[in-house]
Amino acid sequence: MKSKEAKYCHETFVGSCCSRSSKATAISRVRTTGKPCSASFQISPSVTEIYTCVYNLRGAGEREILQRSDPLHLNVIDRPMTPSIVLDGGLSTFIFGHHAKIKCYLSSKYSCSSLYLHSKGQKLTNSKVQSDFNYHMATFEIPITAHEMFTCSCELTLEQSLLSSEQSYPVYVTVIDKPQKPSISLNHSKNIFVRGELVNMTCSVDFQSSSYSFYLYTGEQKTHSHFAEKKHSFTIFEIQAAVPDYYMCECETTVSGHQRYSELSDKLYLNVVERPKRPQIKLNASVRIFLKGETLSITCQADVPYSVRQFSLYRSTNGHYLDEISEDSSSTSANFQIVANDTGEYWCAYQARIAGRLIDSETSISVPIPVFDRPAEPEISLNLNFTTVIKGELLLLTCKAPSQDSAKTFYLYNNNNSLEAVPPIVTKGRQIGIFNITETVSPGVEQYKCMYSMVVEERLISSKQSNPMILTIKGGCLEVCTGLRT
């Protein structure tokens, strides 16, 4: 505020500033010498008032006022009220690049034209005030890229003057990186699987969180989920050669109350193949049953277009145990020579190398192989109680079989030459064959053996020969009459 120029400027000038509303009390005084004949006053008005100024010459009393200025009306208003600031939802941690919602507001009983958001001492943006019965408010959406502090202020335009409030108390935000792209990996040494096999794969992520939800995608479809820490292994119990044949995973975590998802992992492609087809098994024999100790020949044939490394023959006996016989082969078939010891089921399989992995084929159908003990040797006996006989006496040799399970045919051998065959006679629960050799013997020493045969499952099976029966044949009346029979 300046006073008017004095009439006598070469005189010492004393100017006074007065408030009319305070009964013209001088509130400030400035002394000057020389030109210019003016003075400036610094005042701090707190209420609306009218001001004037006067001046007089040095040495003159206050009553000797030369002139009072025209009045100056100063309208004093309050500074705009400092607004409040809050983070929407009370959340203060954000993923890099995500937007934070910040609200500034103040009571509607105070005036406010615009609300401003500040960070690091700079105005970031302003927003038009929205008002209701209780508040003036504005909402700011700011991308968060670093740890920051925010304040807000209110501005008011009055009589072409811009008035600003003090800045609010600050709010602080923390930024964390976005969940990284997870990695998906197989828990197997080779990436080739047979349809129906179990496959285990792991999804892992490195992120500033203690727990996640992991999701597995089959193609583009979400098929599995699990809650875990840092990583999780998914198990697919029966892998199928479906299209698409790739897998992906993603992770989801909660940041400041919001669910945040990572990018999808890279695609993991699986090579799913069909199990090699079952081979054919063939018993190389024309008979249907076998005797214990006989050699069997079994062929396993694979009709496949790829290399077969190994054939295996399996045998189960009475369902109690399983034997395996393997044979390396570079062809598509293998022949197994085995000794028949017990009745059992036989089947075979092979290993084929596909894409670097040895894969077991399906097993062949089973082949039952009945194995019987060789028939026990028979007993041979004579109808007499001695073995030295007279030619012409009735001589009957009996061949006895130990069991009666099948119909038998008995054979008699003389010095290993077959004499005849007779049908069985059943007596006392046993089958016997009786041979009359009265007319066939000749003087001398004769050796007789017998055996029997029977048909089992269309196979003719013969027993061993019996122990020999040695007869001494005497001829002529002299020997008979002199009583030389022994």
Residue at which a domain ends, from 273, 290, 309? 273
Q: Is 6 inside any structural domain?
A: no
Same domain, 383 and 468: yes
Size of the chain, expressed as the number of residues it contains: 486
Same domain as 327, residue 354: yes
Question: Residue 64's CB: how many other CB atoms inside 10 A?
Answer: 9
Indicate if 321 and 396 belong to the same structural domain.
no
Residue where a domain terminates, one of 372, 390, 420: 372
What's the per-residue H, E or C state across 274-304? CCCCCCEEEECCCCCCEECCCEEEEEEECCC
**CA 225, CA 183: separation in Å to the nearest integer?**
15
Please check whether residues 347 and 396 belong to one and the same domain: no
The number of distinct structural domains making up the chain is 5
Residues 435 and 467 in one domain: yes
Q: Is residue 79 part of a domain?
A: no
Residue 485 lies in a domain: no
Residues 308 and 292 in one domain: yes
The tens place of each residue's pLDDT in the chain, 486 residues long, gives 444 444 444 344 444 555 545 455 666 666 666 555 677 777 777 777 887 887 766 555 555 556 678 888 777 766 788 899 998 877 788 877 888 889 999 887 888 888 899 988 788 888 778 888 788 888 888 888 888 999 999 888 777 778 888 889 999 998 877 777 888 988 887 888 888 888 888 888 876 655 678 888 888 888 888 876 667 788 877 787 665 678 998 888 777 666 778 889 999 988 888 889 999 999 998 888 899 999 989 999 998 887 788 899 998 876 554 567 776 667 888 889 989 888 889 999 998 888 888 899 999 999 999 998 888 889 999 999 888 998 888 999 999 988 767 788 899 998 867 777 777 777 766 788 899 988 888 888 989 999 998 888 888 888 889 999 999 999 855 454 454 444
Tokens representing 250?
A: 């993603």
CATH at residue 469: 2.60.40.10
454 within a domain of the structure (yes/no): yes
| Domain span including residue 398 | 379-479
Give a yes or no: residue 486 inside a domain: no
Beta strands, E only, 159-288: 161-164, 171-176, 183-186, 192-194, 199-204, 212-218, 221-228, 231-236, 246-255, 258-261, 268-269, 271-273, 280-283
Q: Is the pTM of this model over 0.75?
A: no
CATH number of the CATH domain containing 310: 2.60.40.1930
β pairing state of 135-143 and 130-131: antiparallel
Nearest-angstrom CA–CA distance, 312 and 336 = 9
Nearest to 142 by CA among 127, 167, 124: 124
Q: Is residue 484 part of a domain?
A: no
Instruction: Yes or no: say if 254 and 264 are a contact pair by the CB < 8 Å rule.
Output: no
Q: What are phi and psi of 116, to 5 degrees?
A: -120, 145
Residue 5 tokens read as: 């120029």
Residues 324, 383: one domain? no
Dist CA 132 CA 67 (whole Å) = 53
Say if residue 188 is in the same domain as residue 124: no
Are 441 and 352 in a shared domain? no
Phi/psi class of residue 404: alpha, beta or left (left: φ > 0; alpha: ψ in -120 to 50)? alpha
* Claim to verify: residue 155 and residue 222 sit in the same structural domain: no
For residues 392 and 469, membership in a common domain is answered with yes
Cα separation, 331 vs 308, in Å, equals 6
Last residue of a domain, one of 74, 103, 122: 74
Residues 6+ apart with CB under 8 A from 111: 80, 156
Q: Which two tokens stand for residue 11?
A: 């005189």
Has residue 472 been placed in a domain?
yes
371-372/290-291 β-pairing: parallel
